A = this chain, B = another copy of it.
Amino acid sequence: MIQKAVVLSTGDEITTGKVVDTNANYLSDKLAEIGIDLVAVITVGDVPDRLEWAWRTAIGLGDVVISTGGIGPTADDLTTETVARLAGVKLWRDEASVEQMKRLFASFSRPMPENNLKQAMFPEGAEVIVNPLGTAPGFRMPLTLDGHTSNLIVMPGVPREMKPMMENSVIPWINANRGTDKVYAVRTFQTFGMSESALDEAVIGLIKPEEAKVSFRASFPQISIRIRVEGQPGEVERRADELAKRVLGKISEFVYAEGETTMEDVVGELFVEKNLTLAVAESCTGGLIGHRITNVPGCSRYFLGDLVTYSNDAKGGVLGVSAKTLETHGAVSEECVAEMAAGARKRTGASVAVATSGIAGPDGGTPDKPVGTVCIALSSNDQSVTRRYQFRGTRDWVKLITSQVALDWLRRYAIGLPIGDSALFRR
């Protein structure tokens, strides 16, 4: 039975604060997704007796111990030796791993240093977990200490190598060996525009606790909903789909994607699909919207440009905002952003433009327009929408939430939903 897990993170770079241990977070999330109870995360540096203590402790607590780090080619990489010592077994060399390493080095046109051979050594009884992206394969082996048997899973610390190993090898292995015929199906949705408590309220009545476990994860500015169904193979996927449909039926407007997709990804897909082109005019967000849009590969198919006009002169000179508007209503006004969006379309020929202007803080607020006041506009050949928002938070937060609302407006425009009318706005 595999029910309880321990995650082991090793490396001096973690215990001296040089790197943030994002692996532990990733593994915690993946284990929660498949319903494995994470008893503890233990982190120690590259010190032999501490490693041995950590492994002993982890084996005592978990049915499975998932370790990252300490299997590189250098002298301070001690994980494999530590496990072999605890198991009382010798190391053997896996020739298939040696060949795979040689191929990897050949593909870089570099000779393989002798010390990399260390990475092809495994404790007797271990099964190799292939690492398609790096020189350090992982391994898996059972180990009994003080009468308790635990399944050890050893992976490299480099996230881009570890994650595919976890997803392609480790999770399927855990699911196949957990000693229950129950399986899990998970559906994850990304939402924006409703608070966590509003989402909770909306979803709580739809899914009974015995039907699925529903959890929320707020990774600002998006909140994801995860529906985890436990059941028998052959029926669990159907039930997950049915529950997902039920949830979507109630909050579809606020769900912008299934899975790990970002808002800018979704906007990109929609703009390609609908053959739209995009321009942006930013003031308070300072380039963040353009930055997010251009994080999406291939965005040159729809994104033409982003005119960040921070000064009033630039708003006039670059975007053609009238002096009268700036004088009468100020730069942070629905009138100004409307002219900014129209100006951005005119200057670039884009079919759609969004514009932002606001007071990100910490200074610059007035009684009429306190810090967090933000105006957003969208302009297209068939619509011209403006809204004024009052956000709260730090400068970074105001920039980020503004960029998210602007991107959500573009998504809503592309699929024909009403703009500027989200739950956030109604609150």
Return chain B residues, CB-CB under 8 Å to A9: 41
Return chain B residues, CB-CB under 8 Å to A218: 18
Contact indicator A347/B317 (Cβ below 8 Å): yes
- Check if A379 is an interface residue, CB within 8 A of chain B: no
Given contacts A291-B291, A347-B317, A399-B294, whether A38 and B45 have CB atoms under 8 Å apart is yes
Return chain B residues, CB-CB under 8 Å to A38: 15-16, 45
Residue of B nearest to A18 (CB): B217
Given contacts A287-B287, A347-B318, whether A305 and B307 have CB atoms under 8 Å apart is yes
- Check if A361 is an interface residue, CB within 8 A of chain B: yes
- Check if A102 is an interface residue, CB within 8 A of chain B: no
- Check if A424 is an interface residue, CB within 8 A of chain B: no
Return chain B residues, CB-CB under 8 Å to A115: none
- Check if A238 is an interface residue, CB within 8 A of chain B: no
Return chain B residues, CB-CB under 8 Å to A300: 310-311, 364
- Check if A148 is an interface residue, CB within 8 A of chain B: no
In the complex, per-residue mask of A21-42: 1 if CB is within 8 Å of any chain B CB, else 0: 1101111111110000011111
Contact of A32 among B17, B50, B396 (CB under 8 A): B17
Return chain B residues, CB-CB under 8 Å to A41: 9, 14-15, 41-44
- Check if A117 is an interface residue, CB within 8 A of chain B: no
Contact indicator B32/A40 (Cβ below 8 Å): no
- Check if A299 is an interface residue, CB within 8 A of chain B: yes
Given contacts A25-B21, A38-B45, whether A310 and B314 have CB atoms under 8 Å apart is no
- Check if A309 is an interface residue, CB within 8 A of chain B: yes
Closest chain-B Cβ to A106's Cβ sits at a distance in Å of: 19
Given contacts A17-B28, A286-B294, whether A348 and B306 have CB atoms under 8 Å apart is no
In this complex, which of A16, A45, A218 has the most chain B Cβ atoms within 10 angstroms of its Cβ? A16
Contact indicator B318/A294 (Cβ below 8 Å): no
- Check if A124 is an interface residue, CB within 8 A of chain B: no
Contact indicator B44/A17 (Cβ below 8 Å): no
- Check if A395 is an interface residue, CB within 8 A of chain B: yes
Contact of A295 among B57, B304, B395 (CB under 8 A): B395
In the complex, per-residue mask of A282-326: 1 if CB is within 8 Å of any chain B CB, else 0: 101111111111110111100111111111011001100000000
Given contacts A310-B299, A318-B307, whether A54 and B25 have CB atoms under 8 Å apart is no
Contact indicator B291/A287 (Cβ below 8 Å): yes
- Check if A349 is an interface residue, CB within 8 A of chain B: yes
- Check if A261 is an interface residue, CB within 8 A of chain B: no
Contact indicator A16/B29 (Cβ below 8 Å): yes
Return chain B residues, CB-CB under 8 Å to A54: 40
Distance in angstroms between the alpha carbons of A337 and B288 in the assembled complex:
21
Given contacts A22-B20, A215-B16, A308-B306, whether A396 and B295 have CB atoms under 8 Å apart is yes
- Extra contacts, 14 of them, besides A17-B25, A18-B218, A299-B310 (Cβ < 8 A), are A14-B28, A16-B32, A21-B24, A40-B50, A41-B44, A284-B294, A286-B291, A288-B294, A290-B290, A294-B308, A294-B360, A305-B314, A307-B318, A313-B349
- Counting from the closest, the 4 A-B pairs by CB-CB distance are A286-B294, A287-B290, A17-B29, A287-B287
Q: List 7 A-B contacts (CB under 8 A).
A: A15-B32, A20-B22, A21-B25, A290-B290, A295-B396, A300-B364, A308-B308
